[in-house]
Structure 1
Amino acid sequence: MPTPDPTTPQVPAESSAAPSKAAPRRKAPAKSAAPARTTSVGTTSARTKSAGAKPAGAKPAGTKQAGTKPAGAKSTSARSTGAKPTGAKSTRTKVAAAEQPHATAVSGGVARVMEPTSHHVPVVVPAPAPVPTPHVPIGRIPVLEVSPVVEGGRWPAKAAVGEVVPVEATVFREGHDAVNATAVLVAPDGTVHSTAPMHDIHPGLDHFQGFLQPDAEGDWAFRVEAWSDPYATWAHDATIKFEAGIDEELMLAEGVLLFERITAPQAQAERSDDDAATLAEAARILGDETRLPAARLAIATTQAVRDALTRSPLRDVVSPSADYPLRVHRRQALFGSWYEIFPRSEGATRADDGSWTSGTFATAAQRLPAIAGMGFDVVYLTPIHPIGTQFRKGRNNTLDAKPGDPGSPYAIGAAEGGHDAIHPDLGTEDDFRAFVRTAADHGLEVALDLALQCSPDHPWVTTHPEWFKTRADGTIAYAENPPKKYQDIYPLYFDNDPEGLRQAVLAVVEHWIDLGVTLFRVDNPHTKPLDFWEWLLAEVHAKRPDVIFLSEAFTKPAMMATLARIGFHQSYTYFTWRNTKDEILDYLQEVSGPGGSVMRPSFWPTTHDILPPYLQHGGVGGFAVRAVLAATGSPTWGIYSGYELVENVPRPGVEEQVDNEKYEFKPRSWEHAESIGISTLLRRLNEIRREHPALQQLRNLSVHHADNGNVLAFSRRVRAEHLPLAAGDGRSPVAGHTDDVVLVIVNLDPWGAQESTVHLDLAALGLTPPPGTDGSAPFFVAHDLLSGESYPWGAHPFVRLDPRHQVAHVLQVGLG
């Protein structure tokens, strides 16, 4: 990984005391004690080995790392450091709870008190002296506020192969001389891969932007090089002085000297033939004293000369920023279409007596051609493991399961095995491998739900009771995610034996990778420690960087963003609950903005857990609206099985479907799906997404104003120079040699026709009105990729969308 910015403040390393010998367990007091708090990483129970956990930002094992070893890092020659910090008690000294009722942890150099848990023997951890931030002198030309940079380079920004990465920085200098900047992409081997000119996108604010485009996976880096622009300075000054009629000959003489540098043999050799010829001709005429001074200046300041020097400039006093890390994943980490199924429902049958026969991997495989036929490239399986019987949930999440109720697949673990086992009703490992092969034959990757929780029947409950948190009465508390309660599930507890539990989870993940799983949808990762996820994701990435993790964390923004920082490739989002025009446009801009370098969104109109009110009441039109928004609003999107059938009946009082598939078999009849029209729409949306690289990118969104509050408009654009790599995988972009521009206009009213004038940002669309016009008259063509119709449009088109026929325009925009 590239070296982080040396200007980043150094986080003080937390001290780690040697573990104390465990005090004997005490019986629970007669009165209920206060709930025990989870202790911070850095101290361990003496009943377990040292955690050996890599701290936040630690590199995978086997790599060198400069600086002092942070808290929790193992010695390379011993299980624990063996060093007792000042004030720590001997490991042979028993510590009575009455004598020392609290443990002390360190955060940011400040000691704090923690209450002990039933499995934690408190120890004193002294606060270390804070480490001062080293002073780094500012560059000759300052480069500030560089992005995309995550916490000063503590974690890498994210990109995907072929992704167009916007790089921004604030660049300025003293005086009035012109400055400019170049974005530099550094390959994993440390060599310069490519450069891109940066432009001042907010004149007066010194805010520069350029675009880089990595072409392979790996740990890349980038930097910004600021430089003095002698040509821009001379051209500006000469133009002003010619207008004032002063120093004309002097400015021309200085220009001649400048162009001698510009057209030096070494500089010309690095330019294209056309650019070299343009600059040589300008130098020749500029130096021709037989010509009029104004003509000499004019030839040296043409747009052709300026463009040539944008591509290969003359740069003085180049001042580089630090190199910032950029992790580049495979394309699927950014762009993909997911389809979720419960394998047991696919092919399930019900006998006359009401008993059920579960579907199998073989019957589920029969659904794969239809899924692939709609253009999806990932089939996501909910958990496929044995299901517990204790406290099994019945239909509609009832607490009294009836005989034959299959239970929730998220209540993982039974006598047949745990997270590395397959429910016997579904088949065997060989059957699963066959399912993966069949999926691959249809162009589908297999994603598996990773739900780190256990039923009371899970083998770990008896073999590793230390992996669960016991209450004062000796019982294990079931899982809750308020307002939801999961009486059939025990949550895992990571602070008793973190090393043992970590290794067990890693073994589970590697087991399924070995069986062909390349993506994991992680259930509720925000309920597990972040340092665990950082460790696990780093371990998997070191061996299998192609494996992708989708975070299902519907929680607070800080947690969602940090899960992305520490390694999750994608995240579920709040899109499901963004319904009004302002809500949707604000959220699209949020996820497509600077945050897109960290958290890649995955838009899902529904899930097996969520049926939002808009879809409960929106009918077929509502399902069509949300599909268009999800498919065009995010490069990655997903559909839960049954969406094609407009399954929109909620369980009373909650935002989820009645007869929820989590608690029962739910085979579906697909023969009428085409007549409803949603499956046809899904197929066409995925075709459009594959054909248009603009919809495969995230950080390229522009919003356009529509007068009607029920009509919204946004566009995505990939410039022509980025298209060959952005298309990827041998695809041929339909845009040819021009930019690929897709304009989306949606009627948010699922029941009524809406009409509006839309005011287009022509620059965002890459369009320039004909000379002498303001663009109001038609001058370009908007081709509707959904209906096949084409419209001659200007800057202010009028649209009418009737959900009975078409809820949206998805338009390819060009000059025709």
Structure 2
Amino acid sequence: MEIKANAVGIGSILQETGDTLSSRSQGVALKPSEGRNRVVVEGVKPQVECGRFPVKRVVGDMVDVAAAVYGDGHDHVAARVLYRKSDASKWSEVRLKDVGNDLWQASFPVDAIGSWEFKVQGWVDHFDTWRSDLAKRIAAQPAPTGTGEISKDIPLAFLSGALLLDAASVRAEGDDAQQLKGFASSLRWLADKKLERYDDPLTEEIVALADKYPDLEFATTGEEMPLWVDRERARFSSWYEFFPRSAGPAGKHGTLRDAAKLLPELGQMGFDVIYFPPIHPVGTAFRKGKNNSTEAAADDVGSPWAIGNKQGGHTEIAPELGTFADFDSLVTAAQHSGMEIALDIAFQCSPDHPWVKKHPEWFSIRPDGTIQYAENPPKKYQDIYPLNFESSDWQGLWNELAGVFLFWAKRGVRIFRVDNPHTKALPFWDWCLNRVQEQYPDAIFLAEAFTRPHVMYGLAKRGFSQSYTYFTWRESKEEITEYMIEITTEPVRDFFRGNLWPNTPDILPGSLKIGGRAAFAVRAVLAATLGANYGVYGPAFELMDSIPVKPGSEEYLDSEKYQLREWNRASEDSLMPFLGKLNWGRRLHPALQRDDTLRFHPIDNPKLLCYSKQAGTDIILVVVNLDLENPQSSMTDLPMAEFGFGQDEHFEAHDLLTDAVFPWSGPHNYVLLDPQQMPAHVLHLHRAPTEQEQQDGVTA
């Protein structure tokens, strides 16, 4: 009686509260709204944070989808992927294939930039279950006895199948519906014949037709997963950074017109993104002098990151650089050279910026009533005021900042390098980048966020197309291997695209200070071949500027951040021809235009790093000598089957850097790299031409 009373009590609670109880947390299991959905869909890939953020892909990609789809008992299940561009009214579909152990896979294409979505749907496939059972029944029939004994279960199975086909015909239209009805009638006719033995009446045509119209009444549909599709340049780009103000004649402040004169040569060298530090008016209050001095001389130009003066702020051009007409001509000239201009967007202000007077509430106010300048104790940056993202007028601040991107996008800029985004609120970026891409879906954003991994990845999840990386400081074989595997494999690669920079105006890293030409060549090869996106702080890199402001510092002596620099781009010692070879090798070989096929290969010498990338039959193998002083040698150990070669097959290794061709055979081949001559091989592996092909080539 006690037990019965308790049961009645629970029932009363359910009647009184309905769905207000939270199921298991209340100790009471509530019924779902539809309990006949017997299939489970889980573990859908790709996804980022359970669908909180979009997966990233590029136009032309096939999106590989995988999921666990299963149900109870022995009934067969089926599954499909539904996908569409977010503004489309109809879903497209592709069937998932069972690859074993309840795991299913399929791929679908994305052919337009912008927001997409997909979801996995699974259902009990009653027709396929029936078809399989029927085949077993027919195979298990005993041999005819000649007694006239009639099989009973097979005619009954035919009738069951006829009902399933009738139902499918209702879901079908036109000729398909008639064919399904006709075959249902055929099954009933066979059942009525009451034969001693039956053959399987199903044809591939009928099975395919029934499969075309599944019963989805009790299908289980997984969560919609967001997907963002970028244009190709988000995945593959070669960046060159320079200061337009240093592009002028010797001793004179350069202009945008001077900068435009450099573009044809940079285009010929294979660069496709030209990145400028801020081009806005530079503040005068607390202006920094040469080598970051707090005392500026009258002719010091200051840091371009100290943005704003009485002439304007983030939507103005410094008058000494030129006019908007000059800027428009520059953008057009870059396009004619097959390149794009990338602008630096730095959301910070000099004390002279118009926002300081107009919107003091956008800044942090100290107890003495003054505005808080930027500092990283003991370092002080009195020439910069950070913005306060806890401002009471945060909505107004957000709108103004998004307006900066939209202003320059309207003038033709579609690539933005964003300065220190990790010092701005992450919810702001989630909103801002989405708002910009609603109007300009081809916009690309590079995050200059040398920060903690979770923050760096958090920015990528919230819309940044690319990000600077820790590659700048990864120099040992173990460091490089571990880090590159992390950022080029799941789950990170689904939302994060690294852009590898061996140097920046802020960073002159370890080996570049001491390794000479070999160090610059090695870091260029690593950046350009490990990463599909890479960049260099150009003049300083090609001319191998390696002197720090003081021992142990990563700041350059006579840093271009604080003064004009003269660069002898005509120097015979310039690395530019070497960079050009790398860039054109990247353009000619699809294997180097993506990161998801990066594979590291064993090689016995710890001073040598060996890795490959592959796109179909295009295979690039890279071997780099990390010892900047001594020659190093070893034997390769190549995965011949992965490359599509026979285990002992002969093939050729064509070095893109020297044009040398090495006849190789099998997985083990000798390499010797002298850093004083050429510290790396970038090898295109391909089958050696046959004698007949060689003769045809000579004849041609």
Q: Do the two structures share a fold, i.e. TM-score over 0.5?
A: yes
Aligned residue type for 1:151: E
Q: How does 1:135-150 map to 2 (within 5 A)?
A: 140-150=38-48
Cα deviation code 1:753-786 (max 9, x no counterpart)? 2222332234443x253xxxxx2x2344433333
Cα deviation code 1:771-808 (max 9, x no counterpart)? xxxx2x23444333333314323123332222233222
Q: Distance in 1 between matches of 2:34 and 2:299?
A: 69
Q: Distance in 2 between matches of 1:458 and 1:582?
A: 46
Structure 1 residues 198 and 394: alpha-carbon distance in aligned structure 2, compared to 1, 3 A threshold: farther
Q: How does 1:253-292 map to 2 (within 5 A)?
A: none
How far 1:445 moved relative to its partner? 0.8
Cα deviation code 1:319-356 (max 9, x no counterpart)? 65333111111112222111111110111532xxxxxx
2:604 is matched with which residue? Answer: 707
Q: Distance in 1 between matches of 2:625 and 2:234?
A: 30
Pair 1:793 & 2:665 matched: yes
Contact kept, 8 Å, 1:333 with 1:570, in 2: the verdict is yes
Contact kept, 8 Å, 1:548 with 1:569, in 2: the verdict is yes
Structure 1 residues 453 and 319: alpha-carbon distance in aligned structure 2, compared to 1, 3 A threshold: same
Q: Distance in 2 between matches of 1:795 and 1:469?
A: 62
Structure 1 residues 608 and 143: alpha-carbon distance in aligned structure 2, compared to 1, 3 A threshold: same
2:477 is matched with which residue? Answer: 581
| Greater C-alpha radius of gyration | 2
The alignment covers a number of residue pairs equal to: 604
2:413 to 517, 521, 541: 517
2:621 to 737, 743, 747: 743
2:12 is matched with which residue? Answer: none
Contact kept, 8 Å, 2:96 with 2:104, in 1: the verdict is no
2:655 is matched with which residue? Answer: 784
SS of the residue 1:144 aligns to: strand
Aligned residue type for 2:43: E
How far 1:136 moved relative to its partner? 9.2
Q: Distance in 2 between matches of 1:759 and 1:538?
A: 46
SS of the residue 1:522 aligns to: strand
1:437 is matched with which residue? Answer: 332
Q: Distance in 1 between matches of 2:359 and 2:34?
A: 50
How far 1:485 moved relative to its partner? 3.5
Q: How does 1:621-770 map to 2 (within 5 A)?
A: 621-642=518-539, 643-652=541-550, 653-673=552-572, 675-676=573-574, 678-719=575-616, 739-765=617-643, 767=644, 769=646
SS of the residue 1:666 aligns to: coil
How far 1:140 moved relative to its partner? 4.2
Pair 1:398 & 2:297 matched: no
Structure 1 residues 135 and 374: alpha-carbon distance in aligned structure 2, compared to 1, 3 A threshold: farther
Q: Distance in 2 between matches of 1:392 and 1:142?
A: 64
Give me the TM-score of the superposition, normalised by structure 2: 0.77
Q: Distance in 2 between matches of 1:799 and 1:428?
A: 54
How far 1:522 moved relative to its partner? 0.6
Structure 1 residues 703 and 565: alpha-carbon distance in aligned structure 2, compared to 1, 3 A threshold: same
1:424 is matched with which residue? Answer: 319
Structure 1 residues 807 and 208: alpha-carbon distance in aligned structure 2, compared to 1, 3 A threshold: farther
SS of the residue 2:653 aligns to: strand
How far 1:249 moved relative to its partner? 9.2
Contact kept, 8 Å, 1:478 with 1:491, in 2: the verdict is yes
Pair 1:346 & 2:244 matched: no
Structure 1 residues 181 and 697: alpha-carbon distance in aligned structure 2, compared to 1, 3 A threshold: farther
Cα deviation code 1:529-582 (max 9, x no counterpart)? 122222221221111111211111111111111111221111111111111112
Cα deviation code 1:704-755 (max 9, x no counterpart)? 2222222222222234xxxxxxxxxxxxxxxxxxx33322222222222222
Q: Distance in 2 between matches of 1:684 and 1:473?
A: 58
1:506 is matched with which residue? Answer: 402
The range that moved more, 221-230 or 789-798, is: 221-230
Identity of aligned residues (%): 45
1:810 to 678, 682, 691: 682
How far 1:692 moved relative to its partner? 2.1
SS of the residue 1:223 aligns to: strand
1:448 is matched with which residue? Answer: 343
Pair 1:323 & 2:323 matched: no
Q: Distance in 2 between matches of 1:713 and 1:546?
A: 35
2:510 is matched with which residue? Answer: 613
Can you give the 5+ residue segments of structure 2 that lack an aligned partner in the other structure?
1-29, 134-138, 145-153, 159-163, 177-202, 689-700
How far 1:601 moved relative to its partner? 1.2
Contact kept, 8 Å, 1:782 with 1:793, in 2: the verdict is no
Aligned residue type for 2:417: R
Aligned residue type for 2:591: A
Q: Distance in 2 between matches of 1:314 and 1:742?
A: 46
Q: Distance in 2 between matches of 1:441 and 1:425?
A: 25
Q: Distance in 2 between matches of 1:160 and 1:172?
A: 31
Aligned residue type for 1:477: Q
1:82 is matched with which residue? Answer: none
SS of the residue 1:705 aligns to: coil
Give me the TM-score of the superposition, normalised by structure 1: 0.66
Aligned residue type for 2:679: V
Contact kept, 8 Å, 1:166 with 1:699, in 2: the verdict is no
How far 1:610 moved relative to its partner? 0.7
1:381 to 276, 294, 299: 276
Structure 1 residues 620 and 477: alpha-carbon distance in aligned structure 2, compared to 1, 3 A threshold: same
SS of the residue 1:759 aligns to: coil
SS of the residue 1:327 aligns to: strand
SS of the residue 2:298 aligns to: coil
SS of the residue 2:602 aligns to: strand
Q: Distance in 2 between matches of 1:704 and 1:234?
A: 49
Q: Distance in 2 between matches of 1:561 and 1:365?
A: 35
Pair 1:155 & 2:33 matched: no
Aligned residue type for 1:784: D
Pair 1:479 & 2:479 matched: no
Q: Distance in 2 between matches of 1:178 and 1:744?
A: 47
How far 1:448 moved relative to its partner? 0.6
1:125 is matched with which residue? Answer: none
Q: Distance in 2 between matches of 1:482 and 1:537?
A: 31
Q: Distance in 1 between matches of 2:454 and 2:297?
A: 41
Q: Distance in 2 between matches of 1:679 and 1:637?
A: 15
Q: How does 1:164-203 map to 2 (within 5 A)?
A: 164-171=62-69, 185-188=83-86, 189-193=88-92, 195=94, 200=99
2:464 is matched with which residue? Answer: 568
Contact kept, 8 Å, 1:742 with 1:810, in 2: the verdict is yes
Contact kept, 8 Å, 2:640 with 2:666, in 1: the verdict is no
Aligned residue type for 1:344: R
Contact kept, 8 Å, 1:199 with 1:210, in 2: the verdict is no
Cα deviation code 1:383-402 (max 9, x no counterpart)? 11111111111111111112
How far 1:423 moved relative to its partner? 1.1
Structure 1 residues 493 and 178: alpha-carbon distance in aligned structure 2, compared to 1, 3 A threshold: same
Q: Distance in 2 between matches of 1:231 and 1:619?
A: 71
Structure 1 residues 708 and 192: alpha-carbon distance in aligned structure 2, compared to 1, 3 A threshold: farther
The range that moved more, 805-814 or 464-473, is: 805-814
Structure 1 residues 778 and 362: alpha-carbon distance in aligned structure 2, compared to 1, 3 A threshold: same
Structure with the larger helix share = 2
Contact kept, 8 Å, 2:590 with 2:615, in 1: the verdict is yes
1:527 is matched with which residue? Answer: 423
SS of the residue 2:244 aligns to: coil
Q: Distance in 2 between matches of 1:559 and 1:133?
A: 41
